[in-house]
Structure 1
Amino acid sequence: MTSAIDHGISERLALARKLAAAVGGEIEAFHEEARSVVTRKGLQDFVTAADRHGEDLIRSALAEAFPEDGFVGEETGGQPAEQGFWVVDPIDGTTNYIRGLRHWGVSIAFVRAGRIEIGCIYDATTGRVYSAARGKGTFCEDRRIAVSPRQDPNEALAILGCSRRTSFEDYQAVTRKLHDLGVDYRRLGSAAIGLVRVANGVADLYFEAHLNCWDIMAGALIASEAGAIVVMPPLQTMLRQGGPLAAYAPSLSSTFSFVHELVALTK
């Protein structure tokens, strides 16, 4: 039986998990020709029919189950609602999806009273759903996961994002800093998947100098509930204009302490 103080979180989490898996599978099944029907939103910023279809499916299902909830989607917009709202990116990593690279995901988050309460991400590389509810830990399907306990920076792995809204020279400075620390790094092209990799201990740091709210709301909670230290501007700032985000394993706090300054500088 759901506790009265749960306030519908369990039901919302169950639906979000179900939707992430179902919509992820449906987007996977889109025919190659449909993937190639692309609209350019900006430089290296695309939207496909699959993005729109996925968001429509998620929005309709959530509205039917929880008509009082607000909705904010990457493709269709929307407004936060005081009583709670969903933040959705139907395909985080659209460029990867278009080109057949597996690093993309479906991101669904629920926000209430200024806190992220639920985060669910479908990981296209594995077909698994990662999920978290505030205070309840992070799960890959039914298995609880945690960040890496690694302590040696020479064994560490960072995942970076490179936003065209920020200076490329600043991105190069981050890679130089990691190089000097002995930390290897990768760029995947999806913040949602990068945060999942920190949550399940595959990577030790995710950093990007500018992200939109739908890119990271689910992933920020998933990483945090798995034990990561997550650094970003206040939630209202992220909702209004986006901003920087870092998530890292606390066992490497001294190595990655520099990211706090980076987040402060790029707010």
Structure 2
Amino acid sequence: MSAALERRFEAARAVVDDAARMALSMRPPSGGPIAVQKSAQDWLTETDGAVEAFISRRMQALFPEDGFQGEEGGRARDGSLRWVVDPIDGTSNYARGRNRWCVSLGLLEGDRPVAGVIVAPALRETYTALAGHGAYLNGEKITASTVTDPRSAMIEMGWSSRVPKPVFMEKIGAVLDLGAMPRSGGSGALALTDVACGRLDGYIEIVINLWDVAAALVILSEAGARVSPFLRDGGIEGPGTILATAPGIADALSASVGIPLG
């Protein structure tokens, strides 16, 4: 299986790179959002469907026995190995012509993340990981932050209209009580890769979907970050909560926000 996974990993890198170039060429100009609004701050662009269809076709042609799941089309094919794609993560940024968005493709073997590729073409960044082989940014190995004091930590928290305001305020208040600096960047996948490479010391999102995290989970693991058991706790079939953190502040942050780690 190792050789089979390596073939898939190399193929995924090429396919996502092509898909990211497509998305970049279709990006709207700066200004008000050019997209359909599904709900509060939840957007859908023409590019989302085009990129997902492109990746689905390419992966089916290369590995017809594999399953496939996308944000827009749902679980289209089943298999012991399953590709999970978020065609544009950070759509609110993308729809306004901003740079902080990415194309994300993860590979699951059952309920185990085994490979991930995340390309942010406007930032010229590619994150990759294959289980057991390390995590990389533009070909250079990455590791989670060495921060040990929450008072010097930078923590991002994702926002969703599906989270009641009191719950959101409670969690962000807990981050502030630790003395950490809060951030919000509009892309869950890129926030998780920021934790993996040490640009952030933690990321919290109360309600997040599998396609947002599938590629990032293996990148985080290979980079030495600690992560809550998202897949075990229901993330395979529906939305779940995720906490990803640098190991040196993991216990303090987990206790403060009330999200257990794996």
- Quote how far apart the aligned CAs of 1:239 are: 2.4
- Quote how far apart the aligned CAs of 1:183 are: 0.2
CA distance in 2: counterparts of 1:200 and 1:243, whole angstroms: 23
What are the residue-to-residue correspondences of 1:18-97 with 2, within 5 Å?
18-30=14-26, 32=28, 38-79=35-76, 81-97=78-94
CA distance in 2: counterparts of 1:85 and 1:149, whole angstroms: 33
Tell me if structure 2 keeps the 8 A contact 1:106–1:123. Answer: yes
Taking structure 2 as the reference length, the TM-score comes to: 0.92
CA deviations on 1:69-121 (whole Å, 9 max, x unpaired) are 11100111224624211000000111110012221111100111321111111
> Which 5+ residue runs of structure 2 have no aligned equivalent?
none
Tell me if structure 2 keeps the 8 A contact 1:88–1:108. Answer: yes
Q: Which amino acid aligns with 1:241?
A: G
> Which 5+ residue runs of structure 1 have no aligned equivalent?
none
Q: What is the aligned partner in structure 2 of residue 250 from structure 1?
A: 247
Percent identity between matched residues is 31
Tell me if structure 1 keeps the 8 A contact 2:175–2:256. Answer: no
CA distance in 1: counterparts of 2:243 and 2:12, whole angstroms: 24
Secondary structure at the aligned position of 1:207 is classed as strand
Counterpart pick for 2:115 among 97, 111, 118: 118
Q: Which amino acid aligns with 2:254?
A: S
Distance 1:96 1:263, change over 3 A: farther
Tell me if structure 2 keeps the 8 A contact 1:196–1:223. Answer: yes
CA deviations on 1:136-191 (whole Å, 9 max, x unpaired) are 21011221110011112221100110121121211111221111111001011111
- Quote how far apart the aligned CAs of 1:213 are: 0.6
2:177 paired with 1:183? no
Instruction: Give 4+ residue runs of structure 1 displaced > 4 Å after superposition.
Output: none
Distance 1:100 1:76, change over 3 A: same
Tell me if structure 1 keeps the 8 A contact 2:28–2:34. Answer: no
Q: Which amino acid aligns with 2:178?
A: L
- Quote how far apart the aligned CAs of 1:41 are: 2.5
Tell me if structure 2 keeps the 8 A contact 1:147–1:227. Answer: yes
| Superposed CA RMSD | 2.0
CA distance in 2: counterparts of 1:100 and 1:54, whole angstroms: 17
Deviates more, 1:57-66 or 1:161-170: 161-170
What are the residue-to-residue correspondences of 1:125-164 with 2, within 5 Å?
125-164=122-161
Q: What is the aligned partner in structure 2 of residue 8 from structure 1?
A: 4
Q: What is the aligned partner in structure 2 of residue 208 from structure 1?
A: 205
- Quote how far apart the aligned CAs of 1:250 are: 0.4
- Quote how far apart the aligned CAs of 1:198 are: 0.3
CA distance in 2: counterparts of 1:43 and 1:145, whole angstroms: 35
Taking structure 1 as the reference length, the TM-score comes to: 0.90
Tell me if structure 2 keeps the 8 A contact 1:36–1:48. Answer: no
CA distance in 1: counterparts of 2:9 and 2:139, whole angstroms: 13
Q: Which amino acid aligns with 1:57?
A: F
Distance 1:70 1:141, change over 3 A: same
Secondary structure at the aligned position of 2:167 is classed as helix
2:197 paired with 1:228? no
Distance 1:204 1:6, change over 3 A: same
2:238 paired with 1:238? no
Secondary structure at the aligned position of 2:85 is classed as strand
CA distance in 1: counterparts of 2:132 and 2:93, whole angstroms: 32
Tell me if structure 1 keeps the 8 A contact 2:233–2:240. Answer: no
Secondary structure at the aligned position of 2:221 is classed as helix
